[in-house]
Structure 1
Amino acid sequence: MNKLLVVMLIVLMILKKSETKNSSYKLICSNDKTCNSPNGYCLLNECICSKGWIITDLYTGCTYKQKLKLTAFLLSFFVGFFGVDWFYLSVSNPAYIIAGIIKLITLGGFGIWWIVDWIRLLADAFLDGNGFPLLDWNYN
């Protein structure tokens, strides 16, 4: 049991070290195709992404689809004891998958991890597996 708690703390520390990636890049464009239309459009030589899409680097348009905060919260609330929220947010990130497995084995970190995840989601302190912010509640 103690070994499992130590592993859980190590995984959480690794996840804490991941930084928020810059999702506010400005991409200069000449047409909508540059912005990866229909996910974005060109306005005054700058790419404007549709809601839920972001620019992840200086060379591509609106190519990254954000994970929904509402979906993450509902998964966390109803089946968070089984780590489903972490699997949803993982975007194939091994650290998030391992955290989900540990959360599954410990049944939500004995309830504590389960509650902490709600707080992190409500406080906008939860990122997806690639380090990008979640799409806000009022995305429409």
Structure 2
Amino acid sequence: MELDFRWEFVIVFVMYFYGVSSQSQCHLNISAPYVSHSPLVPCEFLPMDFLECSDPIDLRGNDTAREELKYGCSRWGGNRYEEVQMSAVNCTVLPNIECYGNRTFQKEGFPCIKYTGHYFTTTFLYSLLLGFLGMDRFCLGHTGTAVGKLLTVGGVGIWWVVDIILLATGNLMPEDGSNWMPYV
């Protein structure tokens, strides 16, 4: 009987000890050097699934500010990969994800592309069917030239054909500088 009491005491003591220690918060010493064989991964190496990143900063064409900050977008979009600017953004590790280092940091390699709901297929159909009324230019946000196209009935047909060619070659884009939505 006495042996059972000792084991119960040991079990209760161990449960109490581990119960209290599991509720305490573990604070990492960030100034300590990183140990490569530890179970924690540096926060910068986490995949995007574990990060929440902000949108790139719009510098509104100010290339000087981009050179000073070393990040941000002075222009948006582009038709080819080489034309698209890349920027760094601020990323924060999601809650309950453990990693080593600062939980908020800058991550490189985000494209300066924004989408505002302009579909190429829809705009091209507007241009083919109602382009003589300027519907394609209204759709893209070119309001001034759209009114001119409407009043001249597509520039007596010439402006209408020119806009179809400009759309097909990628030279007529949305006014706000956004890219076409990638899917129809």
TM-score bucket (shorter structure): 0.5 to 0.7
| 2:113 match: secondary structure | strand
From 76, 80, 83, give the equivalent of 1:22.
76
What is aligned with 1:54? 113
Deviation at 1:31, TM superposition (A): 4.3
Matched-pair contact (CA < 8 Å) for 1:83–1:103: yes
| Residues matched between the structures, number | 92
* 1:1-140 matched pairs, under 5 angstroms: 21-23=75-77, 24=84, 25-31=86-92, 45=107, 54-55=113-114, 64-90=115-141, 96-135=142-181, 139=183
Matched-pair contact (CA < 8 Å) for 1:82–1:107: yes
Deviations 1:84-132 (A, max 9, x none): 1111100xxxxx2111111111111111110111111110111111233
Matched-pair contact (CA < 8 Å) for 1:75–1:85: yes
Which ranges in structure 1 are unaligned for 5 or more consecutive residues?
1-20, 34-43, 56-63, 91-95
Matched-pair contact (CA < 8 Å) for 1:28–1:46: yes
TM-score if structure 2 supplies the norm length?
A: 0.42
For the residues of structure 2 that align with 1:83 and 1:32, how far apart are their CA atoms? 47
Compare CA radii of gyration and give the structure with the larger one: 2
| 1:67 match: secondary structure | coil
Percentage of matched positions with identical amino acids: 30
Deviation at 1:45, TM superposition (A): 3.6
What is aligned with 2:9? none
For the residues of structure 2 that align with 1:111 and 1:79, how far apart are their CA atoms? 11
Matched-pair contact (CA < 8 Å) for 2:137–2:146: yes
CA gap of 1:48–1:108, structure 2 versus 1, over 3 A, is same
Relative contact order, CA 8 A, sep 6+: which one is greater?
1
For the residues of structure 2 that align with 1:125 and 1:118, how far apart are their CA atoms? 10
